[in-house]
Structure 1
């Protein structure tokens, strides 16, 4: 009986903490269905007194003649290209560090890890100067191009995963006539599925939620991503349609939520097996 009570208390505590963590999301979801006169007067209740979809209709209409269809399309374009580029380039670099012996490999690996300690804000000014002189400001190039040169966190994670793959597979492939590229594409890459899916989920999240980079480089409203559009939708100099903001914020969470639910198994597997050397 004491063991049953202990288990029940544990689960009750976990449920309570879970509710506290997701309460802001539940509140935003509930507020997206409330009328403008109810959002700030019925704050404590998650159940609208009058259910309405008007917030979604007005929110989707956007501002300045640009609808949220454009913003979602822009975000998907930038996020998908950035995710594929970041994960694939990181896998290539990780394969080099994990399987190819070259002079200074340990030193360059340490340098790569050291770059993870640099705050993004430190890199903004020199990057902006370079992209500005190249004439790439107000384009998607500054948002996408850096992802083609690997992400240190993903490289480190994938290196640890590759080290758990037996080298005998590489040797068997070499006997069959495979070169380095053949080993990577035919042997290593298929076995990296859990790590690649994990990296893809993180890359998608970070790119989709990125606010600072679009804020710095984009000034044309038709090029705005979701995060920047949501901020611009809330106008401090006039009356803000908070219902529309909450409605579009709720829709902005749908892609990342679906991605997490669909690939949760691979996410857990990729994290749990990274760093285990076989």
Structure 2
């Protein structure tokens, strides 16, 4: 029995490592290709390790284009991602508290409308939004990417509603007896208790906004406003020879913030998803 259990455990770990390697192979290939020149990337694509390590790909990639170093693109991405994440989390928490704890006319109708917006693909609202932002004069600025974040995100609202509903109403009643208003209850009781949902929403928002390509592509046409995703696209030049080694080098660096966020906040992410909807 003991031997059979050890064999099953060995096979389980072996298969897990095999599938993990298959899933990570594209990232490993990109990382090692960032140290190769163009000829080695395409002629020896089947070989993972480079024959000659070219660290200058990172130097060339960081120089950027047309006088704009890649640090500019990283700075723009951090501005859009951090401010947008803060706005999305705060606004979603406020809206979720209203749906979960406050009574108002048409609550069920508006909640249904909010859920329906989760079913709409972005392509449906893309053109109307662009026309609206163009008439407001917001094109070629960060406003189209930041202002909507401060109006709440349906997925985060729904996630936080489940957490708030799991908090006993007796805590609200006790706070009211002590003289707390709805705003005090929200800031002093609700927010600390839904911290797993807040952190989970912040992680998702950061990853989605950092990886976003379509939004910046629609609204930004000035190189000084480009985010990392648009900066990576500039490496592909159909009229000249593209420096794919530098492109892979900058693509590797672009994964570092997401990797750090996931490593340090992984347990909060798992806790936030697992405990969603559990009643207190």
- TM-score, normalised to structure 2, is 0.97
Equivalent pairs, count? 278
Instruction: Pick the aligned partner of 1:143 from 142, 145, 151.
Output: 145
Instruction: Pick the aligned partner of 1:248 from 247, 250, 256.
Output: 250
Cα deviation 1:239-267 (Å, max 9, x = unaligned) = 10000100000000000100010111111
Q: Distance in 2 between matches of 1:14 and 1:168?
A: 46
In the alignment, which residue of structure 2 is the partner of 1:171? 173
Q: How far has the Cα of 1:115 moved from its partner? A: 0.5
**Aligned alpha-carbon RMSD (Å):** 1.0
Q: More deviation in 47-56 or 37-46?
A: 37-46
Instruction: Pick the aligned partner of 2:186 from 184, 208, 227.
Output: 184
Name the SS for the 2:43 alignment partner: coil
Q: Distance in 2 between matches of 1:277 and 1:67?
A: 51
Q: Distance in 1 between matches of 2:51 and 2:103?
A: 67
Cα deviation 1:104-134 (Å, max 9, x = unaligned) = 2122111100100111011111111111111
Return structure 1 stretches of 4+ with deviation > 2 angstroms: none
Name the SS for the 1:206 alignment partner: helix
In the alignment, which residue of structure 2 is the partner of 1:133? 135
Instruction: Pick the aligned partner of 2:206 from 192, 204, 210.
Output: 204
CA contact (8 A) 2:118 2:155 kept: yes
Name the SS for the 1:239 alignment partner: coil
Unaligned runs of 5+ in 2: none
Matches within 5 A, 1:38-77: 38-77=40-79
Cα deviation 1:175-220 (Å, max 9, x = unaligned) = 1111000000000001111111100010001111111111111110
Q: How far has the Cα of 1:11 moved from its partner? A: 1.4
In the alignment, which residue of structure 1 is the partner of 2:9? 7
Instruction: Pick the aligned partner of 1:217 from 216, 219, 235.
Output: 219
In the alignment, which residue of structure 2 is the partner of 1:261? 263
Name the SS for the 2:40 alignment partner: coil
Q: Distance in 2 between matches of 1:100 and 1:31?
A: 55
Name the SS for the 1:34 alignment partner: coil
Instruction: Pick the aligned partner of 2:231 from 215, 220, 229.
Output: 229
In the alignment, which residue of structure 2 is the partner of 1:98? 100
CA contact (8 A) 2:37 2:244 kept: no
Q: Distance in 2 between matches of 1:175 and 1:266?
A: 33
Q: Distance in 2 between matches of 1:52 and 1:230?
A: 19
Q: Distance in 2 between matches of 1:101 and 1:142?
A: 32
Q: Distance in 2 between matches of 1:104 and 1:42?
A: 63
Instruction: Pick the aligned partner of 2:240 from 234, 238, 241.
Output: 238
Q: Distance in 2 between matches of 1:13 and 1:122?
A: 41
In the alignment, which residue of structure 2 is the partner of 1:86? 88
Q: Distance in 1 between matches of 2:49 and 2:19?
A: 21
Q: How far has the Cα of 1:37 moved from its partner? A: 2.8
In the alignment, which residue of structure 1 is the partner of 2:154? 152
